[in-house]
């Protein structure tokens, strides 16, 4: 691992950071090739710092990656421009410190890609093995159950004639207490059983 620093370079830190973000994590050879065709002033400067960092470690560009490419704010030069009625306007000329660190590409960098592929395969298998959900029946056909109460039954997970016909006394008491069902619910369960038998036939 090696690094290189360029201090007090006459370039805006904000503009240089846009270029630095693009090359961070890239292979040094690819980064140098990409920076060559960028029109920004900072691209040419960062390209030279990357080449210096590679040379400092006696590496070849194709065998290292840019582990860190940081642009820090440096001193700001202040100048003045004469304006109307004897006034003046301040001109700010920012400078920046550019720090680049490169490291040798290891086999560990390829492992996350393999993990992602295995995860995708597992999820695909899980999706394929899912059973199709049973279709919900029209509970409003049952005697004594209207649209409003049918919606309340579905909210409790009771969506089919079979589920209504197999309701226990505890479930019935809970539904009557929670939703204040008016009427004899046993008649509705008996009617739901008739729908189940006709469906099976």
Residues 108-131 have pLDDT tens digits of 554 444 444 545 555 555 544 554
DSSP secondary structure string for all residues of 120-176: HHHHHHHHHTPPPPPPPP-GGGSTT--HHHHHHHHHTT--SHHHHHT--HHHHHHHH
Residue 85 or residue 129, greater confidence: 85
Q: Does any domain span residue 132? A: no
Q: Does any domain span residue 112? A: no
Say whether both 12 and 70 belong to one domain: yes
pLDDT range class, residue 201, cuts 50, 70, 90: low
User: The domain containing residue 157 runs over which residues?
Assistant: 139-195
- 3-class secondary-structure state, position 95: strand
Task: State the total domains in the chain.
Answer: 2
Say whether both 8 and 95 belong to one domain: yes
Residues 44-71 have pLDDT tens digits of 999 999 999 999 999 999 999 999 999 9
Q: Does any domain span residue 58? A: yes
Q: Does any domain span residue 133? A: no
Say whether both 89 and 153 belong to one domain: no
Looking at 82, 105, 128, the residue that finishes a domain is 105
Say whether both 101 and 143 belong to one domain: no
Q: Does any domain span residue 101? A: yes
């Amino acid at each position: 691992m090696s690094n290189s620093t360029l201090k007090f370079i006459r370039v805006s830190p904000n503009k240089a950071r846009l270029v630095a973000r693009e090359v961070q994590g890239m292979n040094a050879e690819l980064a140098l090739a990409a920076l060559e065709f960028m029109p920004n002033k900072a691209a040419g400067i960062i390209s030279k710092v990357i080449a210096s960092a590679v040379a400092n470690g006696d590496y070849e560009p194709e065998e290292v990656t840019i582990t860190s490419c940081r642009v820090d704010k440096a001193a700001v030069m202040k100048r003045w421009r004469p304006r109307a009625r004897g006034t003046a306007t301040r001109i700010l000329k920012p400078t920046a410190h550019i720090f680049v660190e490169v490291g040798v590409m290891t086999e560990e960098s390829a492992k996350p890609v393999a993990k992602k592929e295995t995860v995708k395969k597992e999820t695909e298998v899980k999706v394929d093995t899912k059973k199709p959900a049973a279709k919900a029946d029209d509970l409003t056909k049952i005697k004594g159950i209207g649209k409003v109460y049918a919606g309340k039954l579905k909210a409790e997970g009771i969506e089919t004639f079979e589920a209504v016909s197999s309701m226990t006394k505890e479930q019935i008491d809970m539904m009557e207490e929670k939703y204040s069902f008016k009427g004899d619910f046993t008649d509705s369960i008996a009617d739901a059983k008739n729908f189940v038998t006709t469906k099976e036939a």
